[in-house]
Structure 1
Amino acid sequence: SRKGKTPRRHPPKKPPNSQKDPVGVYCRVRPLGTENEECCIEVISSTTIQLHAPEGFKTNRNGEYKETQYSFKKVFGVSVSQTELFDFVAKPLVDDLISGKNGLLFTYGVTGSGKTFTMTGSPGQGGLLPRSLDMIFNSIGPYQAKRYVFKTDDKNGMEVQNDVDALLERQKRENNLPVPKTPSSRQKVDPEIADMVKQEEAYKADGVDEDSSYSVFVSYIEIYNNYIYDLLEETPDDAIKPKPPQSKILREDQNHNMYVAGCMEVEVKSAEEAFQVFWRGQKKRKVANTRLNRESSRSHSVFIIKLAQAPLDADGDNILQDKNQVTVSQLCLVDLAGSERTGRTGAEGNRIREAGNINQSLLTLRTCIEVLRENQMCGTNKMVPYRDSKVTHLFKNYFDGEGKVKMIVCVNPKADDYEETLLVMRFAEMTQEVEVARPMDRPICGFTPGRRHRNQAFKEELSRKLEERGGPVDRDMPLVVDNLVYSLPPLPSCELTDPHDDITLPRLIEALQNRHRIRQMMIDGCLNLANVIKSKFQELDSNLITRDNFIHEQNGKLFEKDKVIQNNKSEIERLEKKTRMQEHKIDILQKATKIYEDDKRSLQHELETRDQRLHREQSEKRRMEQRMQGVVSDTQLRWEKECERRVNAMQLEMQNKLWVKDEKLKQLKAIVTESKTPGRPEPPPRQTQPNTFPHPGSFTTSTPVRPLHRRSRSAGGEKWVDHKPTTNVDLGTVLQPVIPNAIQVSAPNEKALSKCDRYVLTHQEVASDGEIQTKLIKGEVIKTRGGGQAVQFTDIETLRQEITTVPSRKRRSSEGKPTNGDGSDGTWTDVETRCSVALEMRAGSNMGPGFEGHGITK
């Protein structure tokens, strides 16, 4: 083993035992509830039953009902009584128990199949448990030891105490009881319990050792939700705060047998007392009302009968004070919970959990049986999963060869239980194939048998002789006792038939003298005995006087002790009264404290809730303030830019108006100036192709005027992003803006937008008259909170070309003068005529945010 760890102890090797017995599996069929109910089970023989599938369970291909037969060691039909069942099943186990061998008997089946009735019974029809108790006490009744002579060592073993320790233990137990029981109350037994225990025939075992003393201990546990609870454990009643039952754990004793640690074992002296203890624990068992049974067992119950046996000493009077000579055997009677589907029980909530744990433990039992069967039939050495369930872990020693195992399969023949009954039959059939090693016989004590009988015979003979002699005799005087048994010799025949007979009278005289001599010897013996007895009486009187003085002295001391005890009792009563008063005050204070703690918890919870709500409101307020500050700053920046844009647009509009007026005045001035110049007038100007100007709105014609440039709004000090898609058609006839200090892109990107303040998109589309028009979509570049850029569109400027009709040239007349087409004189003679044919630029309707470029008209 590794350092710091204790090596695991292996179980001692048992002597090889080649004798094995299969698990005894019996079947009991309960009667149907009603006569008209469909039956699916038929008893064919004393060992075989047959299952008939009801309608709806056709399993053959031809649609026929499947019939299955199962064999058991013994089949008990509906007419079999409880007595016959006990004779075949439980009686051999009780015989083994008294012979020092262990046994396990459990009932298995669906809910409502009669498991509890088979195990417990009813008034007048006692089950296996009360009949087993009755047989045990009928067998060992005359040989029972006094109460508390046998004592459990809390390690699944027994110890033997002497009479003095047993008496002290008894007084201690009775003083600890809340209400001392009187002998009359002990003898009082519930009539119903007595009716269940008392049987028609008194069974007795044959293997009772008359030179041994016996004592019976019982314990009762239940396995609920895979937890072990002691049904005999006394829990204090507390209405304010009831204490839940504590679960127990399984441990292994020095012989590697499993037992429930801390389980209460009650010593009983009669079958009625034992069954009364069982009934007290039965009331605590977990039962529930299900769809299948009004009081369905929701746990596995285990009633353990433990028999302690120890030999007497050589004289046959006392029990040997040797723990190694004590033999302990036990019989476990197990009532398993019902094995059925949860859907049939109508379980909900906790009932589903209970049913799941029940089915899981039974499934573990089936798995262990399967592994045992496979290991025995196939020669494998698979590990049996005993520890997966408390039921299998508790009884693993029995399957390993510590005792006989028997199972009673209870079935209900009604058709509704067919599926569950089929599974139970398959499990029972598999269990019969498992073999358990036969337990070894108990070794017999080395003393010569018959010590109790010899001692009893000697006492009876001595009592008879003392009664004949008229008084008690000291046992220390065997010679005196032997002298008392002398008897006078018989007288010879004294009939005289002849007066000369000289033989009869001398013989008679000799016999009388002999009798007289013997009588005198007896008188002397009696006198000697009387003197001895007198001296003994005198010695006894002196001893009695001394003892009386001692007793008187001890009585005085006892009287003083009684006074002290009375004072202590009065003081104890006063303190108990004060204690009860303080406990009452403590209860009141605890209730008040509990109320205050509840109020404190509720107020603390409310305060925490309000603090959380206030914190959320404050954080929401801060977020709102930050959001509003951002909105205000964004709005302020946007309005500042909007105001700046509007001011710039207004200034540009006014400049455009002033420029248009200046152009008109200049043209008029030029016309007027040309009209005053002598010479031939020049022909009207010819329309030419427009040129591309440095900025929108600027254009030239053939009119000899000084080229003036108008600054577009896009040509300010701001930097523009000139977005011209590649799909646009480059037409020279349409006025195109030229934006200086701009970044031309075919697709906008973040890098270009981050360097500019304004944005313009050149878009071409077909107008309603079939001509292509250009739209300049303008916007402002705004920086977002996330560090990016966004474009906000503010204006759309439309550029289009209007085509008007040009009048035909003037023809000269025959005189050489220019004429109009209608033959009138075509000479421009005044300013009005010249102005009518002058070039005119007509401004668009909207000169603010955008403008329109028009063609040239004559």
Structure 2
Amino acid sequence: MQYSFKKVFGINTTQMELFEDIGRPLVEDLIHSKNGLLFTYGVTGSGKTYTMTGSPGEGGLLPRSLDLLFNSIGPFQAKRFVFKPDDKNGMEIQSQVDALLERQKRDSQQSVPRTPSSRLKADPEFADMISPEEACKCDNVDDDCCYSVFVSYIEIYNNYIYDLLEDAPFDPIRPKWLGGGTPVRNNEFIPPQSKLLREDQNHNMYVAGCMEVEVKSTEEAFEVFWKGQKKRRIANTQLNRESSRSHSVFTVKLAQAPLDADGDHILQDKNQVTVSQLCLVDLAGSERTSRTRAEGSRLREAGNINQSLMTLRTCIEVLRENQMYGTNKMVPYRDSKVTHLFKNYFDGEGKVRMIVCVNPKADDYEESSLVMRFAEMAQEVEVARPVDRPICALAAGRRHRNQAFRDELSRRLEERGNSNNAGNQCTHQVNSACLLNQLIESLPPIPRCELVDPADDQTLPNLIEVLERRHHIRQMITEQFNQTGTCVKSQNQQSKISEKDKVILNQRSEIDRLEKKSKTLEYKIDILQKTTDMYEQDKRSLQLELETREQRLQKELSERRRMEQRMQGMVTDTKLKWEKECERRVNAKQLEMQNKLWVKDEKLKQLKAIVTESNSSCSAERPQRPSRERDRDRNMGQKRSASPSPVTPPVRPTHRRSHSCGGEKWVDHKPSTNLDLDTVMQPILPNAIKVSTPNEKALSKCHKYVLRHQELASDGEIETKLIKGDVFKTRGGGQAVQFTDIETLKQENPTAPRYSILRNEDADCGPSTVLSSDQSPFSMSFVNPGPRVWRTSGEEQNPH
């Protein structure tokens, strides 16, 4: 598969190179009052959040965009609260007095924390994300405007919008909200309130009630970002340990207004205020539930994420179709909060850039192909840019001229002050030296002190006067020297103090560096702590799953043991049952064989008697025949007690009348599997309803029921049984059948030889006498005691 894009960044591309190609043009457009939208798109775990945020030392697109923005407009920023949001996606300009009152009010409230959220730990400084060598700025910034930056941070979770910068109201009884509606104690929490989308007077979409924080530096903006990042919803899935479960939108809004003609103050005209914004969107990754095995809330989150991404694809496809084929189909922006919020960008209110992140895993091949196919198609959508308009009609360079005048004035004042200070110091030093020289030169010489005449009274007084004058001058010299020494000492002390100040500054910079390092370490410790907690949670969940599986295994083992015991009992019972059945069948077979042997013996005896009788009749004389006949009659009379004599075959009627004939109405149940025997004698049931399957309607109309059942007998002939019963109504309004008789019909060959046998059977109903004929195809049996049994080629039981 081949896909074409404007530019492809390999795995060795640095964050700086990516930002120079993607982020820098958007920030420059933001400074020039143009909107921009940048979002990352791809499969879960493909590196979207890393591309947008980065890591310590490797800042992503978001921190580098903030760095470029503040480096460019830093000297031209207005004071706090000069620009103020009007809660309708617009900006107002406050006077200097109102802004000063707002600042004083904020400074007075900062001493007392309003909510527990203000006591959170400080996050790593922005300098730890981007090295000083990578800092950059824009050159073409209008210096005749004042700028102010406002940031907001929202997330779109389950198609609801939540403000990540909103502080939960503090309740001393209920616990604080940690973000995402997470319970803290006793399952009590303050759930976040979802926000609504509104349309301003310029038909631009915005989030109503969203908190916009004014920031003045990259560090402050990044700290606000990390404050909201802590509340963002992430979860552990099968594909990503820290998977984003929501779409996050970090909006940088830049408000700018021109200066007056003198270049000193901002114009108090609201119509001259220009607001532009840059939206940095980190989309949640698309995922398949078959791979993540998501359940419960994770499954619902994945469904909403995939639905919003599908809506984004649909909107892009409809825009492309409208542009390519000239159609005017309605774009379904309102189907998802993501597309509804950025509707203006797709309609031409700003530049749109999309970064497609791809993970070269073999498991992500199909999903990555779909992502790249959609991204390639999205390139064909053209969005018209709005025409630039001038901010004001004043001449350019006002701030520069005013600043140049101020710099020149301060330079002259500084030179004048420096010359006065230097002259005073030099004059003081020259005066001190001249005064010392004059005092030294004014010392009177010591006169001669030789006494020649004892009456000389001039020498000693002159000497005393000179010495007194010298002593006075010496005191003056000492005082002057002390003053000069004090001045020199003060100068030395000032130089030492300046050196100490330099040392203190160096130490303070070192302390700041160490504080930043400690904050970075704290941040890393927090990350490690979160990772540790996550691993501990996974460990507990795995232990719980292991315990659950062990319990399940123990339960299955116990169930298996009980099943084995039950099966052993069933096997034992079945074995005993079959042993009894086999014993019963063996006994029945033995009895049957004995009967057959007895029948054969009887036949042999009869044959022997017939042969003996025929021989005797041929050899004996005729007068002796009556005595032999009497003997034979006597012997046959003795045998008749055991078996009846053969009779002539009865007359065969055309039809056999069934015992079921009567005035009752019958249900003749003949299954479709029964075979027609094509015999002459068939059971006839008058007033019968013939059915193949029993039904309540037929049973409700009849009083009797008969079931025709066929089976194969032991001699290979088909045996038909008529199972009869009475139909009666039940208490529930239904029909029931109570079986009373069983009539068996069996087809036999009448030409087979039959012999009359008289024997006793040990049947279930008691001993019976069976009468069998060698000429008739039917046999009759009378059973006593117990219910009467009528057997016609079988048996019929009639309990009546």
Largest Rg, 1 or 2: 1
- TM-score of the superposition, structure 2-length normalised? 0.50
- TM-score of the superposition, structure 1-length normalised? 0.46
Identify, as 1 or 2, the structure richer in helix.
2
